[in-house]
């Protein structure tokens, strides 16, 4: 296009390239989801439809952007970690963040009715914001994800306790808050177990641990936009303690166990965390191949992670697999994850010619 006299305005654009050779973490968060969740009658404290929809939208982002290594989601937020060497959009911050946010939001709306089956679309357009943070080393990356999962644990235990007191115990929101003030994790576990017959460690792992999206093996015939299977036992109307037990091997069979939870304790002082919601409502992997171009094949499940909620032993053997995005609800706090399922994330990067998308 020929230059025009107006073109000088381009000089006002600033360079927003992110530093090279450091991890790029993009976190998106729902705007005003306190209101959005109330307007759409999300079940409390966790709505499995909403969580699965978030996971679906995040999976769409990972399908589109190959350089995302792992994503972690809870509540109305998702974090995406890009490989250190990514050259996506020449590392221009605005393009990276806006693409992630836009893709996530459009997928959230696009797939809405697959999860909220009684409505065609949300009552109003949901909004997500986004930011990019740079992390120089593995230490910060591990601590970042530990921070988010600890947040999930703290908030979910609080919310589960709070709503048990309100919905089952008949307390007012204010009284429930007072009751929980000054309690730690152990106190809340004990209260749930003795007063509400709820073993917290047996609640579905998706609620307690959030969702971890990894690059892994999925069934050959699984479509890119496959609907994420719901935990049927958590629907409908089962807001907390009635939900079916998690089948993790580490879950304990009786007693108010805390052993499977990350080592985080927080004494509640009454209201410093917005995610602890207190009910004041009145105010392209489809044909992805291995690097050598061959379709991956396995005789059984050995050596591959499986899709789903960690209930591996109940799943049929995957005769034919391909690479895709696997959704797990596992501990990412601690070395076990980073040397096991997540080992590929921080492994030295293979030298390869990076694609540059514009
Ligand atoms: N009932 C219910 N509410 C949820 C669920 N997931 C998220 N929410 C709501 O979404 C909120 C997310 O927390 P925040 O991101 O801190 O709150 P926000 O209203 O989105 O505020 P901003 O992010 O600052 O715009 C929670 O406090 C809940 O009100 C869910 O599964 N069930
Ligand atoms: Mg929010």
Ligand 2 being an ion, which residues bring their Cβ within 5 A of it? 29-30, 33, 76
How far is ligand 2, taken at its centre, from the CA of residue 212, in Å?
A: 19
Given a cut of 90, is residue 289 above it in pLDDT?
A: no
pLDDT band at 322 (very low <50, low <70, confident <90, very high): confident
* Mean pLDDT computed over every residue of the chain: 82
According to the model, what pLDDT value does residue 285 have?
37
Pairing of strands 321-328, 211-219: antiparallel
pLDDT band at 277 (very low <50, low <70, confident <90, very high): low
Mean pLDDT score, 67-78:
98
Mean pLDDT score, 141-156:
98
Given a cut of 60, is residue 264 above it in pLDDT?
A: no
- The total domain count for the chain is 1
Residue 88 located in a structural domain: yes
Mean pLDDT score, 335-346:
96
Give tens-digit pLDDT for 164-194.
999 999 999 999 999 999 999 999 999 999 9
- Ligand nearest to the CA of residue 33, numbered in listed order: 1
Identify the domain containing residue 82 by its residue range: 19-269+304-346
Q: Whose CA is nearest to atom 9 of ligand 1?
A: 34
CATH number where 93 lies: 3.30.70.3000
The DSSP bridge partners found for residue 324 are 216
Q: Whose CA is nearest to atom 28 of ligand 1?
A: 34
Given a cut of 80, is residue 309 above it in pLDDT?
A: no
Lowest average pLDDT, out of 26-30, 184-188, 321-325, goes to: 321-325
In angstroms, rounded to a whole number, what is the distance separating the alpha carbons of residues 237 and 44? 9
Residue 7 located in a structural domain: no
End-to-end CA distance of the chain: 18
Ligand 1 atom with least separation from CA of 47: 31
> What is the chain's percent helix, strand, coil content, to nearest 5?
35, 15, 50
* pTM, full prediction: 0.82
Residue 276 located in a structural domain: no
Residue 247 located in a structural domain: yes
Given a cut of 50, is residue 85 above it in pLDDT?
A: yes
Residue 288 located in a structural domain: no
Maximum distance among all Cα pairs of the chain, rounded to whole angstroms: 76
Give tens-digit pLDDT for 4-22.
999 999 999 999 999 999 9
Lowest average pLDDT, out of 32-46, 129-143, 265-279, goes to: 265-279
According to the model, what pLDDT value does residue 254 have?
37
């Amino acid at each position: 296009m020929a230059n025009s006299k107006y073109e000088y305005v381009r000089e006002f654009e600033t360079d927003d390239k992110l530093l090279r050779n450091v991890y790029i973490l993009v976190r998106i968060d729902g705007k005003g989801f306190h209101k959005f969740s109330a307007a759409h009658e999300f079940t409390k404290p966790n709505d499995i439809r909403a969580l699965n929809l978030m996971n679906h939208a995040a999976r769409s982002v990972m399908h589109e952007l190959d350089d995302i290594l792992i994503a972690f989601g809870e509540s109305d937020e998702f974090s995406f970690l890009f490989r250190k060497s990514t050259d996506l959009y020449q590392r221009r911050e605005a393009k990276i963040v806006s693409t992630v946010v836009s893709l996530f939001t459009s997928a959230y709306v696009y797939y809405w009715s697959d999860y909220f089956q009684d409505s065609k679309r949300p009552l109003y357009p949901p909004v997500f914001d986004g930011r990019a943070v740079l992390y120089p080393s593995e230490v910060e990356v591990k601590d970042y994800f530990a921070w988010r999962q600890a947040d999930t644990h703290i908030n979910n235990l609080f919310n589960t306790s709070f709503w048990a007191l309100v919905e089952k115990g008949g307390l007012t929101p204010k009284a429930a808050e007072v009751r929980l003030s000054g309690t730690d994790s152990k106190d809340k576990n004990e209260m749930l177990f003795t007063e509400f017959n709820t073993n917290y460690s047996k609640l579905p792992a998706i609620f307690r641990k959030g969702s971890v999206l990894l690059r892994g093996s999925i069934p050959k015939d699984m479509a890119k936009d496959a609907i994420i299977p719901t935990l049927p036992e958590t629907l409908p109307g089962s807001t907390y303690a009635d939900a079916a037990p998690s089948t993790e091997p580490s879950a304990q069979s009786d007693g108010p166990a805390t052993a499977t939870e990350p080592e985080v304790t927080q004494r509640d002082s009454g209201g410093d965390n917005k995610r602890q919601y207190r009910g004041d409502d009145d105010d392209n992997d489809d044909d992805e191949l291995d690097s050598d171009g061959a379709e991956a094949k396995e005789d059984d499940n050995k050596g591959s992670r499986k899709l789903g909620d960690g209930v591996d032993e109940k799943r049929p053997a995957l005769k034919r697999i391909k690479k895709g995005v696997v959704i797990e609800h596992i501990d990412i706090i601690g070395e076990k994850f980073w040397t096991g399922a997540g080992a590929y994330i921080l492994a030295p990067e293979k030298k390869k010619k990076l694609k540059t998308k514009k």
